[in-house]
Structure 1
Amino acid sequence: MNDRIVLSLISALTMIISVAVQVVSLNASKKDIFLGIRIPESERNSSELKSIGKKYIAANLTIGIPVIVVFSVLIYKIAYLWLFMVLIFAFMFVDFLVYYRYNRMVSKLKNEKKWLKTKRQVVVIDTNFSKENQNKIMPSAWWFSISFLIVAACAIINIINYSKLPYRFPTHWGLDGKPNGYSTKSYINVLIFPLMQLLMTVIMIFSYKSIGWSKKEINPRNPEESKIRSIKFRKIWGIYIIFINYIMQIIFLIEDLQTMQIIKLDTKIILPFIIIAIVVGVTVVSVTISIKVGQGGSKLKVDIENKAQDVDIRDDDRFWKFGNTIYYNKEDPSVFVEKRFGVGWTVNAGSTLGKIFYIVMILILICSVVPLFFVK
């Protein structure tokens, strides 16, 4: 299997996952959210929304599949990393356009039906829940301490084996199992993997902490049930991040030991393992959790007797921009909030920290993508 085939397969797999996430997100959202638009829960199963939902799924498949085939063939034929990145972003933009069209259809329907214009809307605030100790909601952060031990062990092993390395040693291998990238022996180069592991651990801890820091939204129809769902939702995704952290640690550990020539592995075996572990395994687990748990724990079963109130949560669509994908509310002190479409969290672009976060992410993206334009 040559580089062209692998790059083409990775691109196809990435785009297929993107389509799958778009389709799954339709039913993973909360009951009062449909394609990013706040609606009355009682209208969730209305014939109009069902029709829009079916058309949305059909559009994703009829547009997505042909585009995936064309883009994958182009990547195979030309085989440049910059083209790979350009086409992946282009596909994501096409995905967004499909979503945006049906998002606007739901918004138009909502205005025509005057949903949430006449019903009583309530905002529920539970100060105890908001101030509740994160350790009581999330799994213990001590799970990440093992990661630091792994990083320290790798750094010590690399320093001990420093003298055994040749002046130039391989740091990258091709699909044929032969080295195609080398580095000059220096302490910086032999510590590069432990440093990458450390950076990844810090990012994972930040992601874990942001779940606990995120805004805790309570549904006024079932306040107590909503609170329990939210707690379970955060615990499950906290465990997921810890799981992802150790998958990545194992992969980095194997790469580090191979680079330091402590172990010798056939890259024909290792590369498929990495692709399956990162792209397939992690994504499958993520999609499965999204389907079973839902946004905010909306799919979870809760054993509690709680009569639903005849009210709706406040209509906050005005704070959501760009097809209800970006939250912008200067009056909301929360930095992290739950997504309107799909499962997970996003950043409040109206807050100072939110603006800084977006700027940093854009700079990182530019610095990561631009060098690919000079690599075949």
Structure 2
Amino acid sequence: MSILLFGFILLFITILQAFMPKFLKQTEVFGVYVPEQYVKDKIIVYLKKRYFRVVLTTGLVILAGYLLWTLTQDLDEDTLALVSVGVQFTSLFISIGYYFIMHIRVKKLKAEKGWTIGKNEVRVVDLKFQEKLRLVPPIVFIIPMIVTVGLIIYTFMKYPEMPDMIPTHWGPSGQADAFSEKTYFSVISMPLILLVMQGMFLLMSEGMKFSGAKINPSNKKTSVAQQLAFRKYTSWFSLFITLSTTLLMGYLHLQTIHPEISSPWIMFTLPIVFLVITFVGVGIYTVKVGQSGSRLKVGGASSSKEDSIAVDDDKYWKGGMLYINRDDPSILVEKRFGVGWTLNFGRPLSWVVLFVPIIIILVIAFSI
């Protein structure tokens, strides 16, 4: 069963990476801005198809090799988990490596053909954009955080009744395989980590309010509508992940207080259900929304102006993945390759947003 689960994750990663160019804005090709007039260039089309074939074929070969090897070996659960995660990361790194090859080729092609030379670069600003946003209200994210705080209080109330050794990790079979001595800190470590994660999703949803919208000057109406819808769906997706994570970690914590509500079968099944639901949610979100709402059918197309293009900000994107722009006040920016958001690493606050939660989680994890 564990082999099938890890195989499913590997297959999901392979398919998602192979189809990624289809989920992005046409004007962003392998992390490079391409004016709308040239997105159908035959070389661009060829490179996208080649990326799809190479990444999908490589991923399926790795998957077949993984299944063949693991099914013919007598591996213990820890070794199987270690090998499986290693194979998944290997597949991911191969696709990323090939992405960088495509990124360099498109960047070189753009320079050779001079697609932005002589064009009038226009930055479109919608002054009422923030007023039009329909994000999930912050209070909806705060409610699960209040529940988590209540869980911490309840844990302290039940502290005397808890066993001297509490489980902190469960193996693939659902059996607890790591324990920690009961202390006032160790018994609330999981709710504390959950609280940090809930805060991160809240900040992500609220951060979209202050992220500049990249509006296509050749199709303003549709572009604005897609941007608004993209932020709305992203906010709801963040809430979905928040609630599902809260339910999973809340139950895992409660069963340390009340072992009678748990069983090895539940502990084995629950993470699988969580992963499947999460992957299904990611798949629906990616296919339906796409990057910047590019897959959403909204509004009507306006005529394209041959001499007018969006501002070319390739210089701020390192490798098409890292955004570094000190002059941009936005902390969150839309990814160029991948669906979702990344940070503007030119702003010091972005480093705080990135590392503070990670440091807090690591401190909690290594303190129990």
TM-score, shorter chain, exceeding 0.5: yes
From the superposition, tell whether residues 122 and 144 of structure 1 become closer, same or farther in structure 2 (CA, over 3 Å). same
Confirm or deny that 1:241 pairs with 2:238. yes
From the superposition, tell whether residues 358 and 180 of structure 1 become closer, same or farther in structure 2 (CA, over 3 Å). closer
TM-score normalised by the chain length of structure 2: 0.85
Aligned 1:90-169 pairs, distance under 5 A: 90-129=90-129, 132-133=130-131, 136-169=133-166
Residue 294 of structure 1: aligned partner: 290
Deviation track 1:312-331 (CA, whole Å, cap 9, x = no partner) reads 21222222112x11112232
User: AA paired with 1:296?
Assistant: S
Cα deviation, residue 108, structure 1: 2.5
Residue 25 of structure 1: aligned partner: 20
Deviation track 1:291-341 (CA, whole Å, cap 9, x = no partner) reads 22121111212235744444221222222112x111122322222211111
Deviation track 1:221-268 (CA, whole Å, cap 9, x = no partner) reads 122322221111101110010111000111112112211125432232
Distance 1:348 1:55 in 2: 30
Describe the SS at the equivalent of 1:183: strand
Describe the SS at the equivalent of 1:127: coil
- Contact 2:19–2:52 (8 Å) recurs in 1: no
- Contact 1:175–1:267 (8 Å) recurs in 2: no
Of residues 34, 37, 40 in structure 2, which corresponds to 1:42?
A: 37
From the superposition, tell whether residues 263 and 193 of structure 1 become closer, same or farther in structure 2 (CA, over 3 Å). farther
Distance 2:201 2:149 in 1: 17
Distance 1:363 1:159 in 2: 25
Residue 350 of structure 1: aligned partner: 346
Residue 11 of structure 2: aligned partner: 16
Cα deviation, residue 358, structure 1: 5.6
Deviation track 1:104-160 (CA, whole Å, cap 9, x = no partner) reads 22222222322122333212123332xx258x4312111113202321332233233
Distance 1:355 1:170 in 2: 33
Distance 1:170 1:57 in 2: 44
Confirm or deny that 1:222 pairs with 2:219. yes
TM-score normalised by the chain length of structure 1: 0.83
User: AA paired with 1:53?
Assistant: K
User: AA paired with 2:21?
Assistant: L
Of residues 56, 59, 65 in structure 1, which corresponds to 2:60?
A: 65
Residue 338 of structure 1: aligned partner: 334
Describe the SS at the equivalent of 1:121: strand
User: AA paired with 2:222?
Assistant: E
Coordinate RMSD, CA, aligned: 3.1
User: AA paired with 2:321?
Assistant: T
Cα deviation, residue 175, structure 1: 4.8
Describe the SS at the equivalent of 2:342: strand
Return 5+ residue gaps in structure 1 as ranges.
372-376
Distance 2:154 2:229 in 1: 40
Describe the SS at the equivalent of 1:137: coil
Of residues 279, 282, 289 in structure 1, which corresponds to 2:278?
A: 282
Aligned residues: 359
Cα deviation, residue 219, structure 1: 1.1
Distance 1:304 1:327 in 2: 31
After superposing on structure 2, the runs of 4+ consecutive aligned residues of structure 1 that deviate more than 6 Å are 361-365
Aligned 1:350-369 pairs, distance under 5 A: 350-357=346-353
Deviation track 1:334-353 (CA, whole Å, cap 9, x = no partner) reads 22211111211111222222
Cα deviation, residue 169, structure 1: 4.0
User: AA paired with 1:332?
Assistant: D
Distance 1:231 1:295 in 2: 12
Describe the SS at the equivalent of 2:177: strand
Distance 1:296 1:93 in 2: 25
Distance 1:156 1:355 in 2: 32
Higher mean C-alpha displacement, 74-83 vs 242-251: 74-83
From the superposition, tell whether residues 342 and 327 of structure 1 become closer, same or farther in structure 2 (CA, over 3 Å). same
Describe the SS at the equivalent of 2:228: helix
From the superposition, tell whether residues 121 and 158 of structure 1 become closer, same or farther in structure 2 (CA, over 3 Å). same
Cα deviation, residue 44, structure 1: 2.2
Distance 1:66 1:164 in 2: 52
Percentage identity across aligned positions?
Answer: 28
Distance 2:206 2:59 in 1: 35
- Contact 1:329–1:350 (8 Å) recurs in 2: yes
- Contact 2:221–2:301 (8 Å) recurs in 1: no
